[in-house]
Amino acid sequence: MSNQKKVYVGMSGGVDSSVAAALLKEQGFDVTGVFIKAWHPEGFPCTWREDRRDAMRVAAVLDIPFKTLDLEKEYKQEVVDYMISEYKKGRTPNPDVMCNKSVKFGGFLQFALKEGADFVATGHYARLRREIPISNFQFQNNDQNIKDKFSNKIELLEAKDKAKDQSYFLWTLAKEQLKHVLFPIGEYQKSEVRKLAEKFNLPTAGKKDSQGLCFIGKVDIKDFLREYISTEKGDVLNEAGEVIGFHTGVHLYTTGERHGFTVTKKTTLDKAMYVVAKDVLKNTITVSEKNKMNSNSLVLRISLSGINWIQNPEEGKVYNARFRYHQEPEDCTVSFGSGLTFVEFKKPQDGIAAGQSLVLYDKEICLGGGVIEQV
């Protein structure tokens, strides 16, 4: 049918992407399932063959074409190498953000458009709001004004299911990418997605959700990093600079972490200790019972790099921000100066570190964000 809109669905073999494909076919889209093959480290558990088989079974049930797209090179260079490089610098990276930017909505989107698709779709829990709904837009219409409105008036929103919302990981996507994207399950609760999978008789209806690093799955990140970064035992310091224990390698720890190091000099209170600072050159980590950086600051001012604004924020307006996934949003303001962007929180924050993604929200609208450079 010439009027059908063509969509390539990234099918991971999980229930969310399976239901996304089923919903789009039910809505009348010309759907093709695509399994993205990513790079996997040798010596670690890998389920990509089983996942691909599950995706193929779903495609067979839905009676849709199925393709496999090899993006191993892109994933290794843009996600894994980036992650290792950041850890070497003592920073806290977010590989899931880079996976979305470079793989799912980078290489996959480019492949789909080259193949003639109008959209790509995934099983992300997020929503898009367009000035002109998809159902009202005919792609064969040559009215440039309509096309411009469709392309430019778009907002990225939190999912209806706040517990599953993944908009935090999507802040790097530009409008040029988003205009070719669909998030079919963003309007549903996770429990409803499971019921839909049963309704469509999908073989993934009872499959457990994947955990861990994007594509690679549940691996011990410290074991993974030891394969690529040389580590050595170092000192654990308290806030006064006194040696109170030891760790197994400064690169293996992130700000806010409270496991993996040994405190030999116990306090009378014996409370949990958190990493609050790292010195890569001296191979030391500093820990505290407070789990705070700049805990005495009344205002936390953060400079950002790698910024992407889906909608430009206004100086002085109060927004909400997250610098961790599933973090409760915190009030903040944005300011600009000397070519830099700054975010100022209304109160001190715990466990914030260079390299993390800071994502800005105006209520349920995700405005975009940047990478934290300096705290």
Residue ranges of the chain assigned to CATH 2.40.30.10: 300-374
Q: How far is CA 103 from the centre of its chain?
A: 12
- The three state secondary structure string of the chain is CCCCCEEEEECCCCHHHHHHHHHHHHCCCEEEEEEEECCCCCCCCCCHHHHHHHHHHHHHHHCCCEEEEECHHHHHHHHHHHHHHHHHCCCCCCHHHHHHHHHHHHHHHHHHHHCCCCEEECCCCEEEEECCCHHHCCCCCCCHHHHHHHHHCEEEEECCCCCCCCHHHHCCCCHHHHCCEECCCCCCCHHHHHHHHHHCCCCCCCCCCCCCECCCECCCHHHHHHCCCCCCCEEEECCCCCEEEEECCHHHCCCCCCCCCEECCCCCCCCCCEEEEEECCCCEEEEECCCCCCCCCCCEEEEEEEEEECCCCCCCCCEEEECCCCCCCEEEEEEEECCEEEEEECCCCCCCCCCCEEEEEECCEEEEEEEEEEC
Inter-residue contact 182 to 118 (CB < 8 Å):
no
Residues of the chain within CATH 2.30.30 domain(s) are: 230-288
Question: Residue 194, class by beta-carbon neighbours within 10 Å (0-12 exposed, 13-18 middle, 19+ buried)?
Answer: middle
The CATH T-level fold of domain 230-288 is SH3 type barrels. (2.30.30)
Using one digit for the tens of pLDDT, what is the confidence trace for 219-246? 778 888 888 899 999 999 998 899 999 9
User: Checking DSSP bridges between strand 300-309 and strand 365-374, what pairing results, if any?
Assistant: antiparallel
Residue ranges, the chain, pLDDT below 70: 1-3, 132-152, 211-217, 267-269, 291-302, 374-375
pLDDT tens column, 61-92? 999 999 999 999 999 999 999 999 999 998 99
pTM value is 0.87
C-alpha 198/C-alpha 55 separation (Å) is: 16
- Fold annotation for 300-374: Elongation Factor Tu (Ef-tu); domain 3 (2.40.30)
- Residue positions annotated with a catalytic role: 99, 214
pLDDT at 374: 67
Pairing label, strands 357-362, 119-121: unpaired
Percent of the chain with pLDDT over 90: 63
CATH topology of domain 6-199: Rossmann fold (3.40.50)
Task: Please tell me the predicted confidence (pLDDT) of residue 139.
Answer: 47
Question: Can you tell me which residue has the tokens 């390539």?
Answer: 8
pLDDT for res 272: 83
- Written in H, E and C, the secondary structure of 280-333 is CCCCEEEEECCCCCCCCCCCEEEEEEEEEECCCCCCCCCEEEECCCCCCCEEEE
pLDDT at site 292: 57
What is the per-residue pLDDT for 259? Answer: 83
Kindly report, as residue ranges, where domains of CATH 3.40.50.620 are found in the chain: 6-199
Residue 348 has a pLDDT of: 81
The torsion defined by the Cα of 66, 72, 78 and 84, in degrees rounded to 10, comes to: 130
> What pLDDT was estimated at residue 88?
92
